[in-house]
Chain A
Amino acid sequence: MPQDLAEIYRTTYRALVRFLYRKVWDAERAEDLAQEAFARAVVHKPDNARGWLFIVAANMARDDARRAARERRHLTLLTAEPQASEPAADDALHVENERTRVRAALEQLTPRDREVLLLWDSGVSYEAIAAQTGLARGAIGTTLARARRRLVEAYEAGQRGEHVARG
């Protein structure tokens, strides 16, 4: 078991971080959550550790988002000051802008389409995606086709919107 988990850690850790990152949008937090998921796997010794990890990660990210929302509300009560944004280098700014655009595009997908797309992009197979989301295996291709198309459409619509706003 630890041996299997070692291999899974090696091959899945980054994928799990990638998956979590698109949910919490904070690299450090995503890594912490991924570590915690593996730590739980050590204790629980699930049969299908890889699938289990993604399910646990999805749950943790959801809980994390709720907690973060509570904290934000709390913060708003404490202080009304806007957060100072640090001046960033052009490159970093560009990367950050792109990320923000993709994030905005992803948020226009339905939760289910988004989940399927993020799982696939993190290396999860159709079969495992079906098991995790409760969709029929035969529906995964259709869901992915729609999710991909909407992602690209939403991203490009966002680009156009910006150009209109600027020009």
Chain B
Amino acid sequence: MSHVDDGLLHAYLDGELSPAEAQGVDAHLAQCSECRRRLEEERALIARAAELLALAAPPDRELPPFRAGDVKPPTRLWWHVRLPLAWAATVLLALGIGTYLGRGVERARQPDTTAYAPPAERRALDARASPELAEKESRVKLRGSARTPPAARPPAPAPARAVADSIAPLRREPLLARADTPAAYAYGERAADSAARITHGKASQDERDRWQKGDAISVDSARRVLGVDPLVVPGVPIEAFYRGRSIGYSGVVIVEQALDSNTMIEVINARSAPALLNEVVVTGAQPVRSRPAEAAPPPAPRPAPSPGAGLFHDVRGPLSADSLATLRRLLQPLRP
């Protein structure tokens, strides 16, 4: 069987092959140590290229408000003409969107003055809000959420047994993160809800954007992209695997796990510049493909790359930092 060419290896490592194609590559890799060696070289090359590109990245700035006036004349703000349903979303668009974490009951009572406040003014508002107030407000907000029409809130099933004990204490927190689902919009989310989400979401917003979430992929693909088993919180149902991106990381997989029907966490698995990097021979090297592989002596068995080496892990979700840290400690490799 012919060797796997570079293009196919890159597509494989980028998680861009169809399951059938990827299985074909797997089958060849299983019986060809030459291609396994090249696989690691190409993996390191991909990481190196990503690292270089990261050196030429623009400064990482906060997501700015949307400036619609560039094209349309600043007739106040263009979304004024779009009514209730689109409303919340467009305000979010204007101000930067975040994960709703619960806050802002004060502002809820005066949507007319705050929702249209220009961003600078809004920031001033935020600056005044003390953490204590925010905490209090979030509790109030939690009660307030009981007014949400039932259809928007599916009944909470029992949490996954295996981790119920360790997670149970976490679940007393306001878990309203799902407010950013379309269902929430459909129920006429009010201005203040949006405003609250925006104001509180800043920090988590940056966190989310650092790990851009791409297409859903299979668990096999996730393994290929990372080169090792992804870490997950054991016993918590896995909803999906996504390919991710982040500057300075060449392979990123985001695992979505459902603590309960309202609470989704995301486990970040990211391959940073690998230790293998200095083994990469790119300069002046002949393309590996052109080597007379058949004539090569039978390769000595290589030590497997140490699992987890160079891998970065994190857990994010609508939970407190302590809870997230707890979950992080629970992470275990997902065995096939």
Q: Mark A34-50, 1 if CB is under 8 A from B, else 0.
A: 01101110110000000
Contact (A39, B72) CB under 8 Å given A2-B82, A141-B11, A149-B282: yes
Contact between A106 and B10, CB atoms less than 8 A apart: no
Cβ contact of B89, chosen from A3, A143, A156, cutoff 8 A: A3
Chain A contacts for B212, CB-based, 8 A: 11, 14-15, 123
Chain A contacts for B48, CB-based, 8 A: 148, 152
Segment from A67-75, A81-89, A96-104 that makes contact with B: A96-104
Complex-state Cα separation, A29 to B140, whole angstroms: 43
Contact between B57 and A21, CB atoms less than 8 A apart: yes
Q: For window 1-22 of chain A, which residues contact chain B by CB distance below 8 Å?
A: 1-3, 5-7, 9-11, 13-15, 17-18, 21-22
Contact between B57 and A141, CB atoms less than 8 A apart: no
Contact (A30, B58) CB under 8 Å given A13-B63, A120-B14, A152-B49: yes
Closest chain B residue to A100, Cβ basis: B56
Q: For window 251-277 of chain B, which residues contact chain A by CB distance below 8 Å?
A: none
A→B interface (CB under 8 Å):
1-3, 5-7, 9-11, 13-15, 17-18, 21-22, 27, 30-31, 35-36, 38-40, 42-43, 95, 98-99, 101-103, 105-106, 117, 120-121, 123, 125-126, 138-149, 151-153, 155-157, 160
**Top 3 nearest A-B pairs by Cβ distance?**
A142-B7, A141-B11, A141-B7
B→A interface (CB under 8 Å):
5-12, 14, 16, 42, 45-46, 48-50, 52-53, 55-61, 63-64, 66-72, 78-79, 82, 86, 89-90, 92-93, 96-97, 182, 185, 205, 209, 212-215, 245, 247, 280, 282-283, 287
